[in-house]
Structure 1
Amino acid sequence: MCVGLPAKVMTMKDGMAVVDASGAKREVSAELIENLEPGDYVMVHAGIAIAKITEEDEDEAEDLLEGLL
């Protein structure tokens, strides 16, 4: 099973994004998503932003993850 983590895009540069995932900032590849900008939300798996999501999706995913821990 694969688990993606929701994250907010903080900065973009040269196909890479710095994202904030529950307070942890990481650099991930953003090559798969067009028109990604700071403030957008993404689902991250294995160091790659794999899908753009809404803020509501991010909130729901965070709630589900908190329930698992």
Structure 2
Amino acid sequence: MCVGLSAKVVSVKDGTALIDANGAKREVSADLLEELEPGDYVMVHAGVAIAKITESDEDEANDVMENLL
């Protein structure tokens, strides 16, 4: 099973997105996603934004992670 991290996109430049995952900011590859913009939510795995998600998906993913920890 793979675990993805949900995050909000802060900025996008040259195939790289700066994301905010619960206050932790880092750069990830955004090459797999088209039309990614600041304010979008993404699922990140192994340093790559792999899917766009909704804000409610992000909330649900955060709740699941909190319950696991």
Q: Which TM-score bucket, shorter chain as reference?
A: over 0.9
Tell me the matched-pair count.
69
AA matched with 2:56: E
TM-score (norm 1): 0.98
Give unpaired runs (5+ residues) of structure 1. Answer: none
Give the match's secondary structure for 2:6. strand
Task: State the 4+ residue runs in structure 1 displaced beyond 3 angstroms.
Answer: none
What is the percentage of aligned positions where both structures have the same residue? 75
Give unpaired runs (5+ residues) of structure 2. Answer: none
TM-score (norm 2): 0.98
| CA deviation string 1:15-67 (max 9, x = no partner) | 00000011110100000000000000000000000000000000000000000
Q: Distance in 1 between matches of 2:67 and 2:23?
A: 17
Are residue 58 (structure 1) and residue 58 (structure 2) matched?
Answer: yes
Alignment RMSD = 0.4
